[in-house]
Each structure stands twice: as C-alpha cells, then as structure tokens.
Amino acid sequence: MTNLPKITSKQREIINLIARFRFLDRIQIQKFLNHKDGARINEWLKDLTEKEYLTRSYSSIFPENTKPAVYHLARNGIRYLKDQNEAKTVCKFYRENERSLSFVGSCLLLANIYLDLEERSKGEIGFIVTVKSGYPTHRLADLLSDLKPSAYIKQVRLKKSKYYFLELLSSLPPERLRQRLKKYLSFYESNEWEVETKKSFPTLLLICPDETILIYVKRYLKRKINVLDEPALIIHLSTSQKVKEFGLTGDIWQSA
C-alpha cells in the first residue's frame, strides 16, 4: 500500500463521496455525512487539503465569495483510490483543475438533486438514485455503458415503481448536443432496455442550462419523435435554475 498521510474513517468517506460526484461543496459534504457540527467538517476538510488529498476552490470576488468552497480530488486522494483497487477509474481525476465552470456546476447540481430526493424518500414514496459513477449491478452497468445518463432513478411506490434517466445537458455546440440526444433516441429504438430488464423504457428527464437551449432541444426532439414507429418515449424538460429553486419533484417540467 502507498505510504500516505494518515486520515480518519470519516475523511476516507469524504474522499469516496467526492470520487462519486467529482465536485462537492462543504455544505453538501456535511449533509451527506449527516453531521451536525460544521466546524468539525471544516477541520476534516482543512486537514485533507493540507495533506493533498483534496484541492479547495474558493473565489474572493463578490458574489462568488458568498458561496461555500468547492472540493475535488488532489494527488494523494487519487493515490488513495488506486490503493482501493480503483486504478481503472482514476484517470479522469487527474485533470479536475481544467474542468469548466459548467461541468463543476452540473456536478454540484447532481449532488443537490441526490440529497433532495434522499430527503423526500423519508415519506411514502422512496427514491433510489444512482449516479453514473456506480450503477447498482454489473448487468445495468453493461447495459448503460454507452449511454451513461447523469443518473438513473427508481421511484419506489407500493404497487408499481417508476424509472427515469436524468441527463444534465451542458452548453454544448448544437452538433454535440444533437449527438447526445440521438444516443437516447437510438437506445430507445433498439428495444435493448425492454429486452434486458423486462421493464418499460424509463422517462427521460432533461435539465437544460437555460431557456434558449431548452427551446432548441424541445423543437429538435419534437421533429425526431414524430418519425419514430409507435413512439411511447416520454421526455420532460426543465432548466437548471428551476431545479435549484423547486427541486426535481416540483412543478417545473415541460413535455417534449
């Protein structure tokens, strides 16, 4: 095992959380750990940063300086994951310093969605959310290896469960955006999901960075869906801002 600075079990848990979501802020980390003492969280994060397990990003410019610091994996955090037999999956972490603000924002939004649905699962309806870093079974991982939705969500009810693919769309050039949408349409037309899982195709939830991209995506999908054979694909669209304000279960969705 690599000779790394000593850390606590809770600090190891923080590293695994950040490996799962790529970027997390201090408030999110505290919520994931279900820890009431913010000062203790700050101590753990400060120690992890000094020991080069994590890198801390924080702006001194208003209004960004009113937001909590954001953390991602640093050199020793990546070495730690290698020691945990994660060598095949750590390459993506080496360039975290180069990620765009849009990418970081998507990671933070996905974490907030996860936390929100986890909180709502304390009621009669439960949610099981799996982000693309770890699908629950090898079978599902193989099935979604090419598609890789931002998250796969199972809404658990007493009589019947519902399933969703969640996609956080970035501000991509139109051609790349269309390519991403075509992947979902092709996967739907293949019937591979129905054959392998014996379930109906999941509802597709598309979260767009702004209204302009939402309108573009909606018009594009409407043209494509109209030419599908017996289209039963359900697609809902919203924006990042609405999800932040009202949550994934809010009255925020438009149909494609």
The position carrying tokens 């959380």 is 17
* Spatial distance between the Cα atoms of 137 and 227, rounded to a whole number of angstroms: 34
Residues recorded for the chain: 256
pLDDT at 16 over 90: yes
Helix (H) or strand (E) holding 174: helix 174-190
Mean pLDDT of the chain: 89
Of 146-155, 182-191, 220-229, the one with minimum mean pLDDT is: 220-229
Amino acid at site 203: T
Question: What phi and psi values does residue 121 have, to the nearest 5 degrees?
Answer: -70, -5
pLDDT band (50, 70, 90) for residue 109: very high
The DSSP bridge partners found for residue 203 are 164
pLDDT at 233 over 90: no
User: Residue 136 burial (CB < 10 Å; 0-12/13-18/19+)?
Assistant: exposed
Cβ contact 81:54 at 8 Å:
no
Q: How many CB atoms lie within 10 A of CB 20?
A: 17
243-256 average pLDDT score: 93
Local structure of 90: helix, strand or coil: coil
Cβ contact 45:14 at 8 Å:
yes
pLDDT band (50, 70, 90) for residue 87: low
pLDDT at 157 over 80: no
Question: What phi and psi values does residue 45 have, to the nearest 5 degrees?
Answer: -70, -40
* Spatial distance between the Cα atoms of 225 and 120, rounded to a whole number of angstroms: 32
pLDDT recorded at residue 134 = 61
Query: What's the Cα-to-Cα distance from 118 to each of 115, 122, 155, rounded to whole Å?
Result: 5, 7, 11
Longest Cα–Cα distance in the chain: 59
* Domains of the chain, CATH where assigned: 9-99 (1.10.10.10), 106-255 (3.40.1350)
Instruction: Report which of residues 141 and 194 the model is more confident about.
Output: 194
Cβ contact 221:182 at 8 Å:
no
The DSSP bridge partners found for residue 165 are 152, 204
**Token pair in block for residue 23:** 């970027």
pLDDT recorded at residue 139 = 76
Local structure of 73: helix, strand or coil: strand
pLDDT recorded at residue 69 = 92
